[in-house]
Chains A and B, each alone.
Chain A
Amino acid sequence: MHILLAEDDTETARFIAEGLTALGHQVTHVATGPLALQAASDATFDAVILDRMLPGLDGLEVLRQLRAVPNRVPVLVLTALGGIADRVDGLDAGADDYLVKPFAFVELAARLNALARRVPGPEQTTRIEIGEIALDLLRREVTRCGKPVHLQPREFALLEQLMRQAGRVVTRTMFLENVWGFHFDPQTNIVESHLSRLRTKLREGFSDDPIETIRGSGYRIRTDA
């Protein structure tokens, strides 16, 4: 992927750029608001990482001007401000995702993947099939090899997240945001306990687990299952 990184803090920028390069991405780094706006207008990027506080032009203002063009490039806003009101401001300005510093690199990488590969209009899909598993979004039904699997609403929502991000990692906080609508991290294992039930139900009558745990990052659905 070709990623535009707009971040004025040299240390943070180096840490992100090195990490993304190591994952095989191509990174263009700018350190000011006007340069970020110019770079995003001049070239086509798969995703933009935009720091909220940029010299010259505020990150949110860059975002507003981009969206006014309109430029629909996926944008992930980074911020040191974790308040509820700040997050709402960011999403109002047109951010696709919002990540509060300090964050784990795996979290950034997972969210970037989820954003950049978001195919326009997947929400209209009524059926997702990955390997042996099929998800009917209208009837809220799941089958594995044609055999029905009965899931609770939250288990279904977890599986839907995993299948929409087939082959990519979904982190714990992504589950919390998308399934529960929580933008904070409860210190207990509600994600784990629901996932464990989901896995047990999917595995019933089969020998293998279609969901992989990626240690230190999150979960991924196997595309070969």
Chain B
Amino acid sequence: MRKPRASAAYRIAFTYSAAFTLAILLLGVAIYIAADAQFRRQQDAALVDEASALAHEYNEGDLPEIRHAIARREGSNTINAYGYALFDRTGHRVGGGLNTRKPPVGLQDIVFVDPVEGADHARAYATDLTRGLRLVVARDSESLEGIDQTIVLIFGGAFVLVIGLSVFGALLLGGYLQRRLDGISGVARAIMAGDMAQRVPLSDRRDEFDAVGSALNTMLDRIGQLMDNLRQVSSDVAHDLRTPLLRLRNQLEQVGQVPGAAERAIEQGDAVLALFAALLRIAEVEGGALARSFVATDMTLVVTEIAESYAPAFADSGRTLGWSVAPGITVLGDRELIAQALINLLDNALLHTPPGTPVAVSLEADAHVATVSVADAGPGVPPGDHARILQRFARGEASRTTPGNGLGLSLVAAVTAAHGGTIAVDDNRPGLRVTLRIPRVDAA
């Protein structure tokens, strides 16, 4: 388990929650500023309204009437939030209970003396009445500050809750992400330790983690297959070598006692060397480095040459080789590799069909792909074995007793793949047809 500090999962979760918290904070400040300004505007408007109402009502009246109206308002329970003061020209307070000095006309913050609390702040509006009188309407700032405090309090509480929730959420999310990732890395470690059977556990949610896990599992299956294949090839090499080496040993034992034993021993040695040469050749072709030396190669010429060269060998064995070759077909490749692939296909046709079997080679092409096929009318291969015979050392049951090392078609497949092509094995009804499709290029 990683420390949360070093964990990308936790880092992402905490970054996300910090961003969320910051956003909430900014939102809170904005709301506070807007609400505060709105309250102040409303309060100012109320002060102006109240002063205007009084002024309008008593502008024509006498001083005692105004003083009386003020006293009545001060005494009323409903609007006791306001304080009033009335000043004459000399600045003496001639009415109202608001203990303050004569302020200038307009909206302003003033200081007044509260009978209980002493000096205090208030918001005030002053307006001139007739006869040199100045009316002041004020409201204690405490009420607005109270609202502001309430907003800050509520928001502060909410903010602490949000921080708590987002930290909790981040821990939860980070832990979840890490648990899912730990599942994958745990499997990787188990496989490194040698347990190839381990697979990433998948949930039913089919989320991104399941997609990654599923891709990894598929990859592990493929690697497993390749490793099995490799193990199979290694044991096949050992097995296929043991038989000819044993024969070689027996032949060597007979040298000097049985005539011709030395020559047979040399032939046996050559067969072993040929097996190695074929394996190395396949490795070289599969290695892919050859593609660098590929040049425009005249397929028409190569196929014709090989068919012509093989016709006598077919005729000698009582088989017939026919060919139909389309002119002017060029591919990017290596002449000898293509020739060897064709030769292996023809060798197979010679080895695995009874005398008298017709065999046909054809080369045709569409605009993009050259198609070479070698088809015989022999006994063929069971359809279930079509894919298998392309593998190294794979030999059909029927061909167990015929010569060959089971590498011919593997090399054909490797050569085709090296040329960017595909190989197909089909039923020729009757017989076997192997088709190579290789991309065409323009003649150089």
* Contacts from A to B (Cβ < 8 Å): 82-85, 88, 102, 104, 154, 180-190, 193-194, 196-197, 215-216
Contact = CB atoms under 8 A, between A and B. Distances in A.
Given A154-B309, A193-B312, A215-B263, A186 B347 contact: yes
Contacts of B313: 188-190, 193
Nearest to A103: B273
B19 interface: no
Contacts of A154: 308-309
Contact of A197 (B273, B312, B343): B312
Given A188-B313, A188-B350, A193-B312, A84 B335 contact: no
Contacts of A83: 284, 289-290
Given A182-B336, A193-B312, A215-B263, 14 more contacts: A83-B284, A84-B293, A84-B334, A180-B309, A186-B344, A187-B274, A187-B404, A188-B347, A189-B313, A190-B312, A193-B313, A196-B312, A197-B312, A216-B263
A124 to B, nearest CB: 27
Contact of B316 (A84, A102, A183, A196): A196
B281 interface: yes
Interface in B297-326: 305, 308-310, 312-313, 316
State the 8 A-B residue pairs at the shortest beta-carbon distance, nearest first: A193-B313, A193-B312, A186-B343, A188-B347, A193-B316, A190-B309, A190-B313, A197-B312
A182 B347 contact: no
5 contacts: A104-B266, A180-B309, A187-B408, A194-B309, A197-B312
Nearest to B313: A193
A85 B309 contact: no
Nearest to A183: B336
Interface string B335-351: 11001100110110011
B346 to A, nearest CB: 8
B223 interface: no
A211 to B, nearest CB: 16
Greatest chain A CB density within 10 A among B263, B310, B334 is at: B310
Contacts of A188: 313, 343, 346-347, 350-351
A84 B309 contact: no
B111 to A, nearest CB: 100
Nearest to A180: B309
Nearest to B344: A186
Nearest to A85: B293
Nearest to A192: B313
B280 interface: yes
Contacts of A182: 336, 339-340
A161 to B, nearest CB: 15
A196 B315 CA distance: 12
B277 interface: yes
A82 B277 CA distance: 9
B292 to A, nearest CB: 8
Contacts of B334: 84
A181 B312 contact: no
A187 B336 contact: no
Contacts of A185: 274, 277
A189 B343 CA distance: 11
B316 A184 contact: no
B336 A190 contact: no
A165 B333 CA distance: 33
B175 to A, nearest CB: 55
A112 B274 CA distance: 23
Contact of B336 (A104, A184, A194, A216): A184
A184 B280 contact: no
A104 to B, nearest CB: 8
A82 B350 contact: no
Nearest to B311: A193
Contacts of A215: 263
A204 to B, nearest CB: 16
Contacts of A180: 305, 309, 339
Given A84-B290, A102-B273, A216-B266, A186 B340 contact: yes
Contacts of B343: 186, 188, 190
B340 A184 contact: yes
Interface string B271-294: 001100100110010000110110
A150 to B, nearest CB: 15
A23 B281 CA distance: 33
A88 B308 contact: no
Contacts of B293: 84-85, 88
B348 to A, nearest CB: 10
